[in-house]
Amino acid sequence: MSAELRQAVTGYLQVRRALGYKMARPEKLLAQFVSYLEQAGAVTVTTERALAWSVMPGGDPAWHAYRLTVVRGFATWLATIDPGAQVPPAQLIPSRKLRATPYLYADEEITALIAAAGSLRFPLRTATYQTLVGLLAVTGMRVGEAIRLDRDDIDLDAGVLTIREAKHGKSRLIPLHDTTVQALRGYLQIRDRLLARPGTGAVFISPAGTRLLYCNVHATWKRLAASAGLQPRSAACRPRIHDLRHSFTVRSLLDAYQAGRDGQATLALLATWLGHVDPAATYWYLTASPELMAAVGHRLEAWLRERP
């Protein structure tokens, strides 16, 4: 029966990926879960087995809840072909995931981060991280999208980046300002001079000529933030690299309000720009900045004064 379970997992993953989900972590977890069922002599998914596996030692309640969510998704699908499969109830493991408070970067802090990259050991590493930080700050791209960029994804003559198969399988175009085009062109000239034949087609590369790894980028980011003197503003508000994306979005909204443009139209545009599937993910940025909330309040007051 274990072979049938593994085949069912393969079918489930294929369906989910066809819908645009990456499923890398769920694939690993479901393989572990099926192995657990095999060792227990179970022939299908039950609530009891799913709960016991999910709360195995290691990790916090949020991680246990996530493991159960992965199993529940598979069990829901499995129940359509296996009447004996049980679907664990939602919220069987209580867990409230606290959302981090965005660390909104001031212009001088971004400048300090780029300057901090100047102290990195290798010239190519310096150029790579200075350009990477700058690109994230002015485009609002996800870190993963930036490090997946290939040379063919950049059209410097047209001033456009192509983001391919990003989150939920979505692709999009990002127009670039002339100064950003110049910065990217300068970086590519430097990296081609320092390493003429890298082993990858990636835009951003390591001194070894390989594509940047997500974990290494985050480790380097922590060094840059410390070197730039950035300090947590609270326990929930720490300088994260992802917050360059938040900062870009808030600044774009604030600029729109200050220029008297339609904030609703700007939000719709930003949702597409950022690659959000659900516009609610973009609306959340409205609450991220007191300065932005003040601008919204002023617009509301002006609208109320104009009413009879």
Which residues are known catalytic residues? 142, 167, 242, 245, 276, 285
Please classify residue 269 by burial: count the beta carbons closer than 10 Å to its beta carbon, then call 0-12 exposed, 13-18 middle and 19+ buried.
middle
Q: DSSP letter at 201?
A: -
Question: How large is the greatest C-alpha to C-alpha distance in the chain, in angstroms?
Answer: 74
Cβ(37)–Cβ(5) under 8 Å?
yes
Find the helix or strand (DSSP H, E) in which 45 lies.
none
193-214 b/e (C-beta count within 10 Å ≥ 16 → b)? ebeeebeeebbbbbbebebbee
Q: At a CB cut-off of 8 Å and minimum separation 6, what does 274 contact?
A: 140, 245, 249, 281, 282
Strands (E), 35-79: none
In terms of Cβ atoms closer than 10 Å to its own Cβ (0-12, 13-18, 19+), residue 131 is buried
What DSSP state is assigned to residue 229? T
Find the helix packing angle between 214-227 and 123-139, rounded to 10°.
Answer: 90
